[in-house]
Amino acid sequence: MNATVDMPVVEVAGGPRLGDSEFEFLRKFVYTHCGISLGEHKRQLVQGRLFRRLRALGLQQFSSYCELLQRDPQSELGELASVISTNVTSFFREVHHYDLLVAELLPRWLEDKRRNGERLRIWSAGCSTGEEPYALAMVLAEAIEEHGANGVDAKILATDLSPQALETARRGVYPLDRLGGISDAHRRRWMLRGSGEYEGLASVHPKLRELVTIQPLNLLHEWPMKGPFDAIFCRNVVIYFDQPTKQRLFRRYAELLPAGGYLFLGHSESLHGISEDFELIGRTVYRKRG
């Protein structure tokens, strides 16, 4: 890449400068490959976070990093996505979603699946470090037990683009201060407290791991799974996307949900003006139209 720096730049003390041409390249690259829109106001954040990535790769300049992306986009895509996005999550975030699952959806789904010999599938899209799918697994495991549905094929698919986030999700080990959203009852049953060198940490119960499949996935690329899913959780993911990208994504979600299937969004997200495939039935809860 021919990078020129002839406009004001943002500097990190003691570090390389992120020039206009390099930032413009990164903006286009990130939008093309991740669907994420980076405004000019994100330049300082991008420079600060990518500076650490440059050091890890032994690179001296942002132009060298851009050249790496040009040579082999896929090799660095997950790392770049981790750098520019913020993986903010917690156990039982937006608890009203779990309340709906426990009180209404899971009992009905499990009864229907058991009667018809069908499988139950939930997708946690943008699972980050795993708190969401493991919280889903807790309520699913308890519903299976409560409703005598041990014979039902029930699984949770958890996907994310960030390699670092997925590594944490696969380990399923969290600092104790990350367990605040878990009730005492759930914590006693589903979290195994560490000791010795694992003091201050807790691991998810093996039964939860059996219910959760964790895979890397770029939501803008081809999806290997064909569905159908009973519910898709896509919470606090599309806040990074522009309107056309959101429309394409929710159209694809609709294709994987049967009529009456559920879509859960984050507290600040809405399908208003984006998709007519779903009807709002509760707080950030949508149902696919028949």
- The one catalytic residue among 160, 230, 235, 287: 160
Q: Which residue of the set 17, 20, 43, 49 is catalytic?
A: 49
Q: Which residues pair with residue 124 across a beta bridge?
A: 158, 233
Report the DSSP beta bridge partners of residue 120. Answer: 154
Q: Identity (one letter) of the amino acid at 83?
A: V
**Helices 73-84 and 62-71, axial angle in degrees (round to 10):** 130
Q: Is 160 a catalytic residue?
A: yes
For residue 228, whether the previous peptide bond is cis, meaning omega lies within 30 degrees of 0, is yes
CB 259 within 8 A of CB 286: no
Residues that are catalytic: 49, 160
